[in-house]
Structure 1
Amino acid sequence: MAQKEQKDFHHPYKPYDIQVQFMTELYNTIEDGKIGIFESPTGTGKSLSLICGALTWLRENKAKQLNEELNDDEIDPDEPEWVRQFAREDKKKKLLAERIEMEKRLEKIREKERRDKERAERAHDFPRKRQKTGASTDLDDDEEQFMLDDYESDEEGSKTRKRPRAGDMYEGLSETTLDLLRKTGVILSPDDDAKEDDLPDGTKIYYCSRTHSQLSQFVNELRRVKVPTGIPDDTDTLLAEEVKHLSLGSRKNLCINPAVNKLASTTSMNEKCLELQQSGTSAEKRCQFLPTKDEQHLYNDFRDHALATIKDIEDLAELGKSMKVCPYYASRQTIRPTEVITLPYQLLLQKSAREALGISLKNNVVIIDEAHNLMDTISALYSTTITLSQVQRAELQLKGYLHKFGKRLKGKNRVYIAQILKLLIGLREFLEKEKTTNPKSTTDTRIVPPTDITSYKGIDQVNLFKLLTYIHESKLARKIEGYISLKKAQKAAELQKSNTSRPPNTGKPGLEVPVLTHLTSFLLALTNPSSEGRIFCGAITDDAEIGFKYMLLDPAHHFHSIVSSARSVILAGGTMSPMEDYTTYLFPTLPPSKITTLSCGHVIPSTSLLARTLTTGPTSIPLEFTFEKRNDPAMITELGRGIFNLTAIIPGGIVVFFPSYSYLAQVLSVWEKPGADGSSLWTKLQKRKDLYTESAGSSSIEETLSAYTNSITSGRGAVLFSVVNGKMSEGINFNDDLGRCVVMVGLPFPNLHTAEWKAKLAHIEATARAQVLGAKKASSEFYENACMRAVNQSIGRAIRHRGDYACIVLADRRYNGARIRAKLPGWIREGVVTGEGKGEFAGLMGAASRFFAEKKKATAAGLI
């Protein structure tokens, strides 16, 4: 039988076998319209595999669709052949005209950019020369700006007031609630007043990741790939069709107006930007970067320059500055003809954000990279908190505002502000009562039914939907915050005059997130169906401040709008194992036949990984870091002896991961105690290698990593004591000598005794009972999977490329269990050597000695 010819994925290099497997499965998954969960370890070229597999499908699908349109013969078969031929040619010309014309325009821009680059000049000769207006970059000190405009309710002003769009203010509402509001006409969907564009709106790939730095890395890889055109081959029209790519971001990334981008918070920027666009805003205060109705062609100019070459988010911001066009709004106008769109998690995962940007996922491909924490990300996006101090501050600010402007406010403003004040007083009294009557409120949290909150002090008499609309449309939060900030600035100026020794107040008014904004987010959570999440009351902050916290429990509900719209959804990551949770809790309604899973091996040879479980230490003391046993000083000392012995044979850096910051501190306190010989384990370790410890705060991370790196490059070597789910366990590469050994201490199970985890597991059990599954088994599996995902993410920090090598030590006898080992990534699981008996630590030492001796010999011979 003839061997099946391998598809050409246009990879810029000769791909590894696992990359070919990855691209083939990806292509087939998209073609079949399935969900894909793909695991490919870091260093295996995952980004290029995603790009080449998806782009190859996209261009082939584009060409296929065009050919189908061209060959769709609707002409009367009774017509003469020459008439039919003329009709076919005319149809082809019309179908391709716009595409060909655009490619020619883009090629001219690319040619100009090439010439500019060759001359080493940064010349941007754009035709637009707009006079810069005198828009103020500071808040006007006139108190009148904080006076509310007259307001009509939705019933009274229905003939003149435009209904709010879904992306404007309903950011925290559940999909159930949003759908209900759309059906009742309270809010508009993007399609209700969408404007048609002449350009074709073809199939797109939406690629998202956690940070803009990760997206920039993806964009750099995208520049390497050349794929055939999707325009049918024709001698008169054949052009080199470059990939049309667009980076989308928030105002924080793309705004170029100094009056807006100077503000500290995204909320402040959004409100200030919208304020500068209001119809009543004078020309001199209007944003000078927004084209007028007569200048809409400038958006088209921006679009062509944005698509001519592949640009990241910083390039788009610079392009906007050069063309004096707002890149935030101009990028929206560029979406339609784009093939690949990159954007951060939050802009894709929140339906309101997608609608605000004009993103449609219908029949398009969605790729979510770094998807190992996707469920937690969705939950975090739709969760919110409000503290007692924020409620108290909001109440005081509202009363102060009323004292100043209350007598001048008309009917509807007075009614709604009175309702807000009533609501704030009710929330404050509820929390104050909780603080005085519940002794655990300052140390723990408890679940509070929404009805307990809304029925307190008559809060349920307030129409929350109308109140939220009022807060949004009246800009009440920003006006109150602006007024209070102005009064603070004036008071500070008076104090400065009376006390010259006092340092001047350099702060600017109106830069903080308005406290009413926190209230709005919490009120939105109160409108969500109770089955989707839980509200907790008690100590919700790190410093044990009392307040309310809404936690989303069902990520599938919010993710469903993506799954149901897109042609195919791909979840990809370096460590996706165990995968069962994604299929169970993100795609609960999909049959297994609609889901493809793939766990790739590593590109390194098996001889480049030494993976061992460790159940006993050097003196045969068992290692089992369960919650009940992990405080045993003898076991903690045994762990220290083991690490001390390993430092003698492992070169470069060793990274040791602990379950929590508190346990790391406890372990170090034991190691720092002097032993029988008067010397502590910590002191002995310091004589072998430099020692560094990850702290809970993020400020010292860069300094710690820099010092750790310097110790290794100097030849001294170092040990870094880190924490699972901390700053070092994700996003940082311990490649080569930075991580020749990774030690995982115990299994980092989440704290089962917190109200949040109790609620999560109770929700899992309730879901399992509804699906006639084993409730306790389901919750136990979910709990264990959460632990192992954290383990896999941490130990995956070590080997980062084909030439890398490392030793992985799983220090806990529970890793010997088949069920736990089965949840490790395949490339690690297959290499794990389990030990038994008293000589296990000796076995690890012997294996590690041979492993690193062989690598030293291979390095000296130039084989590594």
Structure 2
Amino acid sequence: FKPYPQQIEVMEFVSKCFKESKNALVESPTGTGKSLIIRAIMLEYLKSSNQNQQQQQQTSKLPDWLFQAAIKAEQNQIAVESSSVQKLRDTLKNIHYFPQNSVNFINQLCVMNNIDFVQQQQINDLLTYTYQPQHKQAIFSSRTHSQLQQFQKQIQLTSTALASRKVYCMHQSKQDIEDIDYFCKNNSCIYRKQEQLLVGLVKSFQSADFVQAAQKESACPYYVSLLRQNLSDVILMTHQQLDESFNQNAVLFVDEAHQLINVVKQKHEAEVSLAELDQFQLKLEQYLQKSTFLAENTFLSLSQILMQLQKLIKLTKYLQNQFVAASKADLAKLLAEFDLVIFIKAEIELFRRERFTHRIRQKLNEQVIYKALQFLELLCHEDVQSQFLLVGSHDQQSENQKNFRLKLVHLEPKMELKYKNVACFGGTLQKDSFTKHFTQKFEFLQVGHIIQKDQLKIKVIKELQGKEFVFNSQTQQNEQIYHDLALYVQNKRKTLPKEQNMLVFMPNYASIEKLKKSIQLENFTIEQPGTPLQKYEERCKLENHVMIGVAGGSLAEGIDFKDDLCRFLIIIGIPFPNIGDFYVKEMLKMDKDYLLHQAFIKVNQCIGRAVRWVGDWASVELIDSRFTQYWDYLSYWIKQIGQSK
């Protein structure tokens, strides 16, 4: 296989950035082989270390001290003739997976194996999670666990995918465990014995699937993954896990980096209702009244949370009949008036660390407590009086005043990626709107698509039925427009060969519902919120079929519409954010082009559905006269290849 010029350009760019201790941001369209590029750069980086050579298979040359320990541990599991071994096994039955207990186990294990002090310390560090990697490491991050699994199958390096206890738990009844973290830490789980974990760890490096290997040895895959992570070449994690503490000397590769911005925003916003605050307050009060056994410091910490919770409830009740939104100076004044300039981060951390959510919940949905704590925690943010927006709203489906909700949003959230070097890849990245959400500085590269110009034809449709067509908030209320659009789409479908399919994107679900009334549903599938992608994948394989979805929805990112699955793509209207939204209004004050940036991220993603590999081809129609006016907001590769304007 000979790399494409675009792939070589990206690899040289990222490698140069790493050598100069810089971070790389690469806009590379879907279908240009970003996964292959990342694998090649990752392999070259890891090979550059004398301590970590390229692995030809999914195996690893583990340290001798670890093999010795594991071999002896395995013998301990099956040997019965040795009284000393039997004594060790009996001792291990009651040992929990805690650092203070693992020292005793290691001491006995090392004595029996005549392992020297240095090796003993290494094993001890490994089992207490203080072992430091002796080699270079790379971290790969993507949006979902399924994407991580796909990447893991493609790399010929030792790798470990990190996931939650619930994902890796071996207990058949794990769905019935209310608090699996608490269960894990406070029960003598049969899959957490240290002998089993050491054996499972070594065996896991001799298998293509470390989870299956660990399970075969009755070793918990979750704890084996924690042991593996500092012995692996590559660690895989979702975007949500990136702010957790890992090896800061590793290099980070981020795929689908545009989705990382959503993670940053989600971590800096919180929403809670008056009813949820009241429920949490009641349960916390009851718990404090009954819990006379609490340590004094713990009792004071919980009391501090309760006091601030009561203040927040008082503010919410005050606002429910008159409040719309407040930001910056107005918000600072409001918080000061209700004495909600608070500093209880340490108390909230203690609440979570000590698992009080599950101690006090008693038939209370844990999400209620989670949302209330998230809101209180954001009130502790250093920027809360200068960079936050507070919005109030009523549930339109209910007349209950307690369904009044408050939403707190950081207008300019930032995240620090605590790694040696970072390389971010995405098909719809905009340098300024991306980099403002991170503390690091990035070098930026845009590359073109690997397809040729005649493989993607783009046309702007300015008129429909002989009249200029603008699909805005006003015209979207005109029922006749939907009859015209339905006729246009149906006629286009009839021009396609029988084996070819068509994809249509609209700006919102409301417009899809109106189009649905005007279209004959035979050979059409309409996107519905919450519908599994698998159902769409099955339907889109039907011949001469039309899939209709919303720009920015599931169909715009979740399905690979390659080849005949999408030979014709239509985007109706420009998917601008709701101008009436208070958050949008605040963002427009800081960025006059905010609406266009957000809209064309979705447009570019939609167009990316049409061409998925070097041999793919498609026609695209943009139905709205304003597309001509805003042509420059299309991605670099689209403007470079798209034949018609």
Give your verdict on TM over 0.5: yes
Cα pair distance change 1:781/1:303, threshold 3 Å: farther
SS at the partner of 1:759?
helix
Distance 2:352 2:333 in 1: 24
- 1:564-643 → structure 2 map (5 Å cutoff): 565-573=418-426, 575-583=427-435, 585-586=436-437, 590=441, 595-602=443-450, 604-617=451-464, 619-643=465-489
Larger Rg: 1 or 2? 1
Among 248, 252, 256, the alignment partner of 1:366 is: 252
Among 198, 212, 220, the alignment partner of 1:326 is: 220
Give the letter for the 2:635 counterpart.
P
Among 18, 25, 41, the alignment partner of 2:13 is: 25
Cα pair distance change 1:28/1:784, threshold 3 Å: same
Distance 1:474 1:811 in 2: 56
Q: Cα deviations across residues 7-46 of structure 1 (Å, max 9, x unaligned)?
A: xxxxxx3333333333233322322322222233333322
Among 154, 161, 164, the alignment partner of 1:247 is: 161
Identity over aligned residues, as a percent? 21
- 1:115-194 → structure 2 map (5 Å cutoff): 128=77
Match of 1:212 in 2: 145
Distance 1:62 1:527 in 2: 43
Matched, 1:37 2:25: yes
User: How many residues get paired?
Assistant: 587
Matched, 1:536 2:390: yes
Matched, 1:307 2:205: yes
SS at the partner of 2:40?
helix
Distance 1:415 1:577 in 2: 47
Aligned partners of 1:307 and 1:338 also within 8 Å: no
Return the offset for 1:446: 4.7
Match of 1:780 in 2: 592
Give the letter for the 1:62 counterpart.
S
Matched, 1:830 2:620: no
Give the letter for the 2:467 counterpart.
I
Q: Cα deviations across residues 49-75 of structure 1 (Å, max 9, x unaligned)?
A: 21012212320x213999xxxxxxxxx
Aligned partners of 2:46 and 2:52 also within 8 Å: no
Matched, 1:346 2:249: no
Under a length normalisation based on structure 1, what TM-score does the superposition of the two structures give?
0.61
Return the offset for 1:598: 2.9
Matched, 1:518 2:368: no
Matched, 1:390 2:273: no
Matched, 1:707 2:594: no
- 1:333-732 → structure 2 map (5 Å cutoff): 333-348=227-242, 350=243, 353-354=244-245, 359-362=246-249, 364-401=250-287, 405=290, 415-438=300-323, 445-447=325-327, 449=331, 452-453=334-335, 455-456=337-338, 464-472=344-352, 474-481=354-361, 484-485=362-363, 512-513=365-366, 515-530=368-383, 533-539=387-393, 545-555=403-413, 557-559=414-416, 562=417, 565-573=418-426, 575-583=427-435, 585-586=436-437, 590=441, 595-602=443-450, 604-617=451-464, 619-651=465-497, 652-669=500-517, 671=518, 682-683=519-520, 690-696=523-529, 698-699=530-531, 701-709=533-541, 711-712=542-543, 717-732=544-559
SS at the partner of 1:780?
coil
SS at the partner of 2:619?
strand
SS at the partner of 1:449?
helix
Distance 1:27 1:410 in 2: 54
Distance 1:703 1:45 in 2: 27
Distance 2:433 2:347 in 1: 38
SS at the partner of 1:648?
helix
Give the letter for the 1:383 counterpart.
E
Cα pair distance change 1:416/1:216, threshold 3 Å: closer
Aligned partners of 1:478 and 1:514 also within 8 Å: no
Return the offset for 1:413: 5.8
Cα pair distance change 1:633/1:366, threshold 3 Å: same
Cα pair distance change 1:290/1:361, threshold 3 Å: same
Distance 1:411 1:53 in 2: 54
SS at the partner of 1:21?
helix
Distance 1:799 1:100 in 2: 38
5+ residue gaps, structure 2:
54-58, 69-73, 79-88, 101-124
Distance 2:36 2:75 in 1: 34
Distance 2:537 2:258 in 1: 24
Match of 1:494 in 2: none
Distance 2:394 2:614 in 1: 45
SS at the partner of 2:622?
strand
Give the letter for the 2:334 counterpart.
D
Distance 2:370 2:607 in 1: 40
Aligned partners of 1:248 and 1:343 also within 8 Å: yes
Distance 1:410 1:373 in 2: 43
Among 179, 186, 211, the alignment partner of 1:317 is: 211
Q: Cα deviations across residues 53-105 of structure 1 (Å, max 9, x unaligned)?
A: 2212320x213999xxxxxxxxxxxxxxxxxxxxxxxxxxxxxxxx9963789
Q: Cα deviations across residues 279-330 of structure 1 (Å, max 9, x unaligned)?
A: xxxxxx42333345xx5xx555444333345x5xxx3333332223333233
Give the letter for the 1:44 counterpart.
T
Match of 2:566 in 1: 739
Aligned partners of 1:624 and 1:630 also within 8 Å: no
Cα pair distance change 1:786/1:322, threshold 3 Å: same
Return the offset for 1:793: 0.9
Aligned partners of 1:385 and 1:549 also within 8 Å: yes
SS at the partner of 2:494?
coil
Give the letter for the 1:332 counterpart.
L
Give the letter for the 1:607 counterpart.
D
Cα pair distance change 1:640/1:43, threshold 3 Å: same
Give the letter for the 2:32 counterpart.
T
Cα pair distance change 1:304/1:823, threshold 3 Å: farther
Distance 2:539 2:60 in 1: 55
Distance 2:177 2:388 in 1: 33
Among 568, 578, 582, the alignment partner of 1:751 is: 578
Match of 1:116 in 2: none
Matched, 1:63 2:46: no
Cα pair distance change 1:299/1:812, threshold 3 Å: same
Q: Cα deviations across residues 123-174 of structure 1 (Å, max 9, x unaligned)?
A: xx88646899899xxxxxxxxxxxxxxxxxxxxxxxxxx9xxxxxxxxxxxx
Cα pair distance change 1:758/1:605, threshold 3 Å: same
Match of 2:624 in 1: 812
Give the letter for the 1:327 counterpart.
P
Return the offset for 1:667: 3.6
Under a length normalisation based on structure 2, what TM-score does the superposition of the two structures give?
0.80
Distance 1:472 1:213 in 2: 29
Give the letter for the 1:761 counterpart.
L
Give the letter for the 1:478 counterpart.
H
SS at the partner of 1:810?
strand
Aligned partners of 1:254 and 1:316 also within 8 Å: no
SS at the partner of 2:320?
helix
SS at the partner of 1:822?
helix
Aligned partners of 1:625 and 1:747 also within 8 Å: yes
Return the offset for 1:333: 2.5
